Every structure is written in C-alpha cells, then in structure tokens.
Amino acid sequence: MNGGSIVKLRSPPASTSAQPAGVYSRTLLWLQLVVSLVLLSAVIFVAGVSRDPSRAEGAVLTRQVASKLLSAGVIDEAASLYQDYLWSGEVSPDSHASIAFSLGNVYLDAGRYQEALRWYYEAETVGTSSTSGGLVTGGQGGSITGEAARKIVHCLEKLGKLHQAQAVLASSTTLEASKLQHADADPLVARIGSREIRLSELLRALDELPPGLAEPYSGSAGKKAFLEKYVADELIWRKARKLEYDSDPEVLEQIQAATRQIVLGAFVEKEILGKVVPTDTDLETWYSAHKVRYREPDRARVRVLELADMARARELAPTVSQKAAFALAARENSLHEASRGKGGLLEGWVEEGQDFLGEGDARTISDLLFSAREGQVVGPFQAGDHVYLLRLEKLEQGGSRDLDEVREQVERDYRMARVQEAYGDLIQQELSADDVQLFPQALEEQG
C-alpha cells in the first residue's frame, strides 16, 4: 500500500463494563427507529386521508346535488348542502367566498334579507382571509369583499338597520374595488370605568327603537342626546341591580312574560314568516282577488260646521244648504278652529276612510260623507263631544292601481295572510296533542 507499509487492525480490548453500554445504545437506537417509523406511518396515513379520492368524490357529489336543488328553487336545502360542501376541506377560500356570495344573491332575490346577510358576511370574511386578499372577481368586476359589502349595506337597509348600514359604509373599503383604505368605523364613544361603549353598540341600540321613538335622535345632535341617554340608562341599570330590583318577584315575572313573547315572536318570524316566499304568480293571484283593496280611494273637499249641542245644529241645518249660507254659519258659529276662518272649508282633500274630525267613528262618518252628492249637507250627527254638519263641496272617484304600483303592500298583505293561516294551523296541531285538555266552561262561569 502507501510506501509498502501495512496497517494492522487490532481488535478492541475486551471489557466486561463496555458490553452493557453497547447493548443500551443498540436498544435506544431500535426505539428511535420504531418511533420514527410510527411517525412516518402516521404522516403517510394523514396525507392519504386528505387525498382520499372517495372523500373528494363525496364533496363533488354534494355540490352537484346542491346545485340541482338550487336550480329547482329549493333554496334552504341547497344552502344546507352547500354549507357541508364548503366546510369539507375540498374547497379553496376563493371558491368558498364565490359560492357564499352566490347564495347571498339567491336569498336576496327571494327577499329573504336575513339569510342573504348571513351568506354575504361569510363571503366577505372568507374572501378577506383568502390568499388573494379578497380580490376574487365579483359579478360587476369588483372584488368579492367589495361586492359583498355593497350587498350587506342593501340588506341592512331593507331590514331597517339604517345605522348599522352606515357603519358598514364607513368601515368597508369605501365600497370601491380600487380603493382598499379601511376607516376606523367603530370608535369609542363612551367609557364607564372599564366598560367601553363603541359606536356600533350605540347604533345597534338606536336601530332597535321603534321608528316613532328613534325620530328625535336623528342627526348629530340627536345621536349625542341618545348617547347621553344610553350611558345614563346603563348607570341607572347598575344602580337598580345594586338595589336588587332584578331579583324582585314581580319584576322576574314580567321578565319571564316578556321573554316568552320575544321567543314566540322569534319563532313565528323564523319558522313561519321566514318560510313564506311568495312568487310573482302568488302576488298576481292575490292582487286580482283583492283589487278593491288597492284602488285609489275616493276623495272630497269638505266644509265643517262644529257645534256644541244637537238643538242648535237642527236649528241651523235647514238654513245652510247653499255654499254661501254654510260658509257664513261656519264663520259665526263653528267651534272648529282650523276651518272657521275659511267658512268651514278644510285644508286639502279628505280621503275615504280618513279620520278628519279626530273624534267619533271615522268609518261611519266617512260612509255618511261619501254616500252624499256634491253640494249636499250631511247631518247633524253626534261625534264625540260635538255635533257636526258637513257639506260635500266636490267629489273625485278613485281609480285602480297597477300591481307594480302597490307590489310592496300586496306582498306584505299576502305574507300576513299566509302567516295567520299557518299560525292557525300550528295552534290546532299543538292543541291536538294527547296530553292537552281545555276547560272553557270555567271561563263561562266567571262571566
């Protein structure tokens, strides 16, 4: 070999103490090898499961069935299957956002704004978190998130959540696909100790007020006044709890009764009203059967002579058949402040069924007036605390209105009728349960 030298290999010296260490090392090596093999098998198994062709085929089948149901107009069942498909793990975030957005459009077209809102929010959320940054192309060439934001605002407005819609407008991407600048749309508006009140909370509370109660709080000054009231209410609420008003038996009974009504209302809204989805044919049929309800009402120009007692009214009645005489009598005798100076002539037109006197039975008074001829005096008749004579100066007959003019009212009436019908059926169904017994005779005994 190298230089002709030979290297002799020698066996290591025998040692009784080294043998256990070698055995231990080999044992440890075998254990590490076994653990590695187990881990490798697990990785291979998981990878195999994630690429399980039967699972992928099942997801595709679910999507195909959902698509067919949607085409058939079976929206809720289709949406349920699409939800299973979207969370199957076989869908990319971009596709997820696109499908959710499409489902939102379907519910929006059906006028089911709450369900539409749910899917638009999912499209916006998934689209924002996707690898494309939410720039999945929408129906109008914008991003899914931008289009979803527009739809969210529309749904909130349809649901009467105007202030929440304004908050979305402010917090979104200004709803322009080319401008992705987010604003701080949920600022802090109040703090009570560690309790923070954000703008969204305040606007949500404002949206929950009935329209008549919310009106004084419109505009910036109104919102400031509502903020003060909202914070004061929170402080009073805390004080009431300290005094244990929330534990008072009478209060608890009222809370239970209110909770019952709220839950019943939610049930009716979701389980009955939410499932009433009228088609164009339904609305056309309803409109044709109730055309009289949607016609323009008759209207009239009217003079009023308001008096304190029937005897005086009967005395004047024969003398006021002419317009000039009626006008003179109204100026000299009428207690009706708004029209006395104008010879009893009311401002504007009076529509059939309108409560223009503010007392008495409006329907009966309207029937008396609109069954008269032009120039005829109606009365005297008692209404509330006064006696009236009316003179019909001019009468205009109302006309019919097309379905498109009254579609919202027709749809509202149709839904209400179907809800009442379904609720009546539900009542009878529940009362037919085996363990229900009614004792109406007990009510008769009470008178």
pLDDT of residue 204 exceeding 60, the answer is yes
Residue 228 has a pLDDT of 93
pLDDT of residue 173 exceeding 70, the answer is no
Residue 366 lies in a domain: yes
Note the helical H segments in 371-435: 407-431
Residue 80 lies in a domain: yes
Q: What is the CATH number of the domain that holds 386?
A: 3.10.50.40
**The domain boundary residue, chosen from 356, 379, 396:** 396
411 closest CA partner among 111, 32, 109, 30:
111
Residue 190 lies in a domain: no
pLDDT band at 403 (very low <50, low <70, confident <90, very high): confident
Whole-number Å distance between alpha carbons of 388 and 379 = 6
Whole-number Å distance between alpha carbons of 177 and 135 = 8
The answer to whether the bond into 380 is cis (omega within 30° of 0) is yes
The sign of the dihedral angle between the CA atoms of 214, 216, 218, 221 is negative
Residue 162 lies in a domain: yes
pLDDT band at 166 (very low <50, low <70, confident <90, very high): low
pLDDT band at 20 (very low <50, low <70, confident <90, very high): very low
Q: What is the CATH number of the domain that holds 90?
A: 1.25.40.10
% the chain with pLDDT above 90? 15
Instruction: Go through 8-39 and write b for each residue having 16 or more CB atoms within 10 A of its CB, e for each that does not.
Output: eeeeeeeeeeeeeeeeeeeeeeeeeeeeeeee
Whole-number Å distance between alpha carbons of 119 and 126 = 10
Residue 160 lies in a domain: yes
pLDDT of residue 265 exceeding 70, the answer is yes
Question: Which residues of 154-277 form beta strands (DSSP E)?
Answer: 188-192, 195-198
Phi-psi map region of 111: left, alpha, beta (phi>0 left; psi -120 to 50 alpha): left
Domain hosting 136: range is 53-171
Residue 46: φ, ψ to 5°:
-65, -45
Residue 84 lies in a domain: yes
Contacting residues for 42 by C-beta, under 8 A, at least 6 apart:
none
Residue 140 lies in a domain: yes
- Token pair listed for 88: 């199957």
Q: Considering its fold, how many domains does the chain have in total?
A: 2
Whole-number Å distance between alpha carbons of 193 and 196 = 8
pLDDT of residue 46 exceeding 70, the answer is no
Element holding 370 (H helix, E strand): helix 362-370
**The domain boundary residue, chosen from 396, 415, 434:** 396
3-state helix, strand, coil in the chain (%, to 5): 60, 10, 30
Angle CA(286)–CA(288)–CA(292) in degrees, nearest 5?
100
**The domain boundary residue, chosen from 127, 145, 171:** 171
User: 226 and 217 in contact (C-beta within 8 Å)?
Assistant: yes
Whole-number Å distance between alpha carbons of 124 and 101 = 8
Residue 263 lies in a domain: no
Arithmetic mean of pLDDT over the chain: 77
Note the helical H segments in 110-218: 113-129, 144-158, 162-171, 199-207, 211-214
Whole-number Å distance between alpha carbons of 105 and 156 = 14
The alpha carbon of residue 165 and the mean position of all alpha carbons in its chain are separated, in whole angstroms, by 12
Task: State the amino acid at position 179 in one-letter form.
Answer: K
Q: Tell me the pLDDT tens digit for each residue of 322-372.
A: 999 999 999 999 999 889 899 999 988 988 888 888 888 888 888 888 888
